Structure 1
Amino acid sequence: MLIGEVARRSGVSARMLRHYDALGLVRPTGRTVGGFREYTPENVRRIFHVEGLRSLGLSLREIGRTLDDPAFTPAALVGDLIRRTEERLHRERELLDRLRTVDAAGPADWPEVARLIELLHGLGSGSAARRQQAVLVEHESAPTELLAEAVLGESDPHVAGALRWALARAAGAGVARVASGLTSGDAEVRRRAVRALAELPGDEASAALVDALADAEPAVRGPAALALGARGDTRAVPTLVGLVVEGPNDVEAAELLGALAEDATWAERIMTALADELADPGADSAARMRLTQALAEMPGTLAADTLRCLTRDDDRPVALVASALLAVLDGRDGDARSAAT
């Protein structure tokens, strides 16, 4: 077949076929008396092989090596193509996200677009100092959705703090985007979401924190309970009691339980929860000691009866701590009665 017929049958232009010939990629088997290129069926099959590999993203040089290398292994080539395609898709997704961010911000003019793009570049910098500077300088014009997205992915504590500060200044905007981080399969992302939500005001942020109380990861549910307790939200009580038992942040949890127990409606419930944990036969000595110390945070004489019982506890350290706390409590109560008279 002459080059024109091959071009018609293969869909590859005559110009490209000449280029393949010049590269040595697909050389015609012979030429006619007039000097025209003449292709055999084997040549045509090689053309289709070349086009097939081109469709996978290989360069012509790579295709030549692939077709002519007897040691060629398809698995290695396909694996490399997958990696390069994933990298390209990642870049394309980043560009798409950037365009959507610009579009969602609804910039009024090109200078505003330029400022937004500069912020995006800053937040995407490999330098933590540059990212922090971008937040502090451009936070007033930064879309809250962008700040919320950034805070979920930020690993540097200083930059994350700046992002949370900027979000809080946005008067609770972006809560939904931050809360979406609670569904991440990465516990660190969920922890970042809780930290950001803790600094955002409003019922929507509180509701998201309540959802985080069910998280299986202590580093997520613990901070959520502390944040809710600081807001006076009694839905955190069971998790706060759990923090006292488990150990991390037990002092902060006990203080918050004491504050929540100022509400008479919850005082007995909190005392019952602490007493039940103390009576749990599976509780170790360290946990019971923390629970005993937590009783000191209860308002008034609410914990007096429980402390009296603990002075006779079989666990000597627990009994000694309970006695000391009871003495302090009785002293305060006596001073209060003297002052009243």
Structure 2
Amino acid sequence: MNRSSDTRLLEALGAGNSSIRLQAALAAGTQADPGLAGALVARCAIEPDFFVRDMLTWSLTRLPAELTVPLLVTELRSGRAQARSQALHTLSKIGDRTAWPAITPSLLRDVDDEVARSAWRAAVVLVPADEQGGLAAELARQLGRGDRDVQLSLSRALLALGDVAEPALQPGLASPDPGVRAHAHATRRLLHNPDDGFDLAVDEAKRVVALGPERAGSTGC
């Protein structure tokens, strides 16, 4: 790619029309020019359109991981929530486990729900097998957090970790907070009955929390 083409593509990535930006992101991925890596990462931090951001992520996955991963890890320290969230999302798509040490507890507990959800998804992809139990325990400390979508994301992350999630749920099952207990019960139910669906599991968990395990089991419902 020559310099004039680079310039036109970079200008298109910042165009006011989202369709032009989408085409530019597609072109960047198709050409897979390593020289564009920095610009693509920078654009991810500010791009307002979901579909363009997704195309930017795809474009970055087409480049060498040894080039993109350090740039994305740097973004995890950004003060801009979207920069952190999109970098985490892209790291989960690249799947290079050398990025695992950058998935810190502070990211897993980020005050911004979208950043935290992205961190949970990235963590379960990147975590080494011998650290899955510790990750499950860290995630389980956030049971009861946020709205339905946030709680669903957390449950999915725990489910993705498999058997190590069961012991991590025990403190939540005994929590004095009914919201935490309900979320823990719902997640445990999904571990054993994944076909139930999250909403059914939550409804049943709320009933168990309200009635207590023995009374809930005796109703026959």
Taking structure 1 as the reference length, the TM-score comes to: 0.50
Say which one has the larger Rg.
1
> Is residue 115 of structure 1 aligned with residue 10 of structure 2?
no
> Is residue 260 of structure 1 aligned with residue 161 of structure 2?
yes
The structure-2 alpha-carbon separation of the partners of 1:238 and 1:155, relative to structure 1 and needing over 3 Å to count, comes to farther
Contact 1:148 1:177 in 2 (8 A): yes
Q: 1:314 and 1:249 mapped to 2: Cα distance?
A: 21
> Is residue 154 of structure 1 aligned with residue 47 of structure 2?
yes
Deviation track 1:242-293 (CA, whole Å, cap 9, x = no partner) reads: 443214433343344244243xxxx3xx434322122222x1x233122112
> Is residue 184 of structure 1 aligned with residue 78 of structure 2?
yes
Counterpart selection for 1:129 from 3, 8, 19 = 19
The structure-2 alpha-carbon separation of the partners of 1:292 and 1:299, relative to structure 1 and needing over 3 Å to count, comes to closer
> Is residue 316 of structure 1 aligned with residue 210 of structure 2?
yes
> Is residue 280 of structure 1 aligned with residue 179 of structure 2?
no
Q: 2:64 and 2:44 mapped to 1: Cα distance?
A: 16
The structure-2 alpha-carbon separation of the partners of 1:322 and 1:297, relative to structure 1 and needing over 3 Å to count, comes to farther
Q: 1:147 and 1:196 mapped to 2: Cα distance?
A: 11
Match in the other structure for 1:51? none
Counterpart selection for 1:197 from 88, 91, 105 = 91
Match in the other structure for 1:44? none
Counterpart selection for 2:62 from 169, 176, 180 = 169
Give unpaired runs (5+ residues) of structure 2: 194-204
Q: 1:151 and 1:130 mapped to 2: Cα distance?
A: 15
Q: 1:255 and 1:321 mapped to 2: Cα distance?
A: 28
Deviation track 1:108-132 (CA, whole Å, cap 9, x = no partner) reads: xxx7111111111111212211111
Match in the other structure for 2:102? 208
Give unpaired runs (5+ residues) of structure 1: 1-110, 301-310, 328-341
> Root-mean-square deviation (CA), in Å?
3.2
Match in the other structure for 1:26? none
Counterpart amino acid of 1:237? Answer: A
Deviation at 1:166, TM superposition (A): 0.6
The structure-2 alpha-carbon separation of the partners of 1:314 and 1:289, relative to structure 1 and needing over 3 Å to count, comes to closer
The sequence identity of aligned pairs, in percent, is 22
Q: 1:190 and 1:196 mapped to 2: Cα distance?
A: 10
Higher relative contact order (CA 8 A, sep 6+): 2
Contact 1:197 1:208 in 2 (8 A): no
Q: 1:195 and 1:144 mapped to 2: Cα distance?
A: 16
Listed as ranges, the matches of 1:93-108 within 5 Å are none
Q: 1:158 and 1:168 mapped to 2: Cα distance?
A: 15
The structure-2 alpha-carbon separation of the partners of 1:321 and 1:162, relative to structure 1 and needing over 3 Å to count, comes to farther
Taking structure 2 as the reference length, the TM-score comes to: 0.73
Match in the other structure for 2:38? 145
Q: Which protein is richer in helix relative to its size? A: 2
Deviation at 1:196, TM superposition (A): 2.1
Deviation at 1:144, TM superposition (A): 1.7
Q: 1:223 and 1:273 mapped to 2: Cα distance?
A: 20
Deviation at 1:200, TM superposition (A): 1.8
Q: 1:179 and 1:256 mapped to 2: Cα distance?
A: 21
Counterpart selection for 1:250 from 133, 140, 151 = 151
> Is residue 240 of structure 1 aligned with residue 130 of structure 2?
no
Partner of 1:191: helix, strand, or coil? Answer: helix
Counterpart amino acid of 2:151? Answer: D
Match in the other structure for 2:202? none
